[in-house]
Amino acid sequence: MKNAIVETNFNFPGQKSFYKGKVRDVYNINDELLVMIVSDRISAFDVVLPKGIPYKGQVLNQIAAKFLDATADIVPHWKIATPDPMVTVGYRCEPFAVEMIVRGYLTGSSWREYKKGARQICGVPLPDGMKEHQKFAEPILTPTTKAEQGRHDENISRDEIISEGLVTAEDYALLENYSLQLFKRGSEIANKMGLILVDTKYEFGKKDGKIFLIDEIHTPDSSRYFYLKGYEERQVKGEAQKQLSKEFVREWLMANGFQGGAGQRLPEMTDDFINQISERYIELYEIITGEKFARYDVTDVLRRVEININDFLKK
């Protein structure tokens, strides 16, 4: 399919290395810049699905760009430009080996741990008697490890981060402050859109001794949103909260007998279902940003992206 990017294999001037993530392809230019292409790949249950979703990359990239700009007064960010709707070019920073997870509500993995009897997460004490999806008195920080190899996505406390030398005490204080301010700003913006920012992750790096916000921010792939309308009523009744996320893709996979288990086969993704996912992502964009989504020409999207990146790098 020429109208969705599933894989890239470019060779840009000054290219030093290439990294392929689940969704993002990242090109290192002269150890100074990173060219990040947000592909149309989609993953669920830790598996990348075989077909791309047209416009998904554009949706995620443009949401991230909007929120980076909307929070630039809080912390400097890595973004220099978005030369294509699916591309961000920014400073190459040395990433910290932790991800800063901010939680405003007892949901997801934190609820699963709480239900098992845990009364603290990452060293943060939790009161007895809380319900699923209940709001914390104040947002809490529950960092996780981040590594190419070894410990990854494991909960870790502030004291462990500092004692293990992952981040200095001085830098961690800044990361903590930045994360909570970003979450507060994101929550205020979400509230205006009729949404609740439930939890999210932030990644930071360092360049020339200065801390920068890196990667994506407040996208439906990195964050969880509830609909504000009806939240209290659903809590009182003990009903599931209405979420703004890609949960519908997981539900479709489960309904078709796939949860990432050994021996399970991925169901066929029909063109009709791919179009449904695409439309849902566009709907997510419009709700989160409050703006109409502009569908860029995807007749030959790979060629378009390559031309736009090369034109930018020439400057």
Q: What is the model's pLDDT at position 146?
A: 85
Tell me, yes or no, whether 107 and 235 share the same domain. yes
Tell me, yes or no, whether 200 and 104 share the same domain. yes
Last residue of a domain, one of 244, 259, 280: 244
Tell me, yes or no, whether 79 and 52 share the same domain. yes
Tell me, yes or no, whether 190 and 256 share the same domain. no
d(CA 207, CA 92): 8
Tell me, yes or no, whether 87 and 175 share the same domain. no
- Give the CATH number, domain containing residue 301: 3.30.200.20
User: At which residue do the structure tokens 């209940």 appear?
Assistant: 134
Q: How many CB atoms lie within 10 A of CB 120?
A: 12
Tell me, yes or no, whether 151 and 232 share the same domain. yes
The sign one gets for the Cα dihedral 70, 76, 82, 85 is negative
Last residue of a domain, one of 213, 228, 244: 244
Tell me, yes or no, whether 233 and 253 share the same domain. no
Tell me, yes or no, whether 120 and 224 share the same domain. yes
Tell me, yes or no, whether 108 and 54 share the same domain. no
Residue 6 covered by a domain: no
User: At which residue do the structure tokens 């200065």 appear?
Assistant: 210
- Give the CATH number, domain containing residue 167: 3.30.470.20
d(CA 97, CA 280): 33
Q: What is the model's pLDDT at position 29?
A: 98
Tell me, yes or no, whether 295 and 223 share the same domain. no
Walk along the chain (315 residues) and give the pLDDT tens digit of each residue. 468 999 999 999 999 999 999 899 999 999 999 999 999 999 888 889 989 999 999 999 999 999 999 999 999 999 999 999 999 999 999 999 999 999 999 998 899 999 999 999 999 999 999 999 999 999 999 999 986 655 557 999 999 999 999 999 999 999 999 999 999 999 999 999 999 999 999 999 999 999 999 999 999 889 999 999 999 999 999 999 998 887 788 888 989 999 888 889 999 999 999 999 999 999 999 999 999 999 999 999 999 999 999 999 998
Task: Count the domains in the chain.
Answer: 2
Residue 10 covered by a domain: no
Tell me, yes or no, whether 197 and 166 share the same domain. yes
Last residue of a domain, one of 197, 219, 244: 244
Residue 195 covered by a domain: yes
**∠ CA(130), CA(194), CA(81), 5° rounding?**
110
Residue 181 covered by a domain: yes
Tell me, yes or no, whether 170 and 204 share the same domain. yes
- Is the distance from CB of 49 to CB of 36 less than 8 angstroms? no
pTM of the model: 0.91
Range of the domain at 84: 15-93+249-314
Residue 7 covered by a domain: no
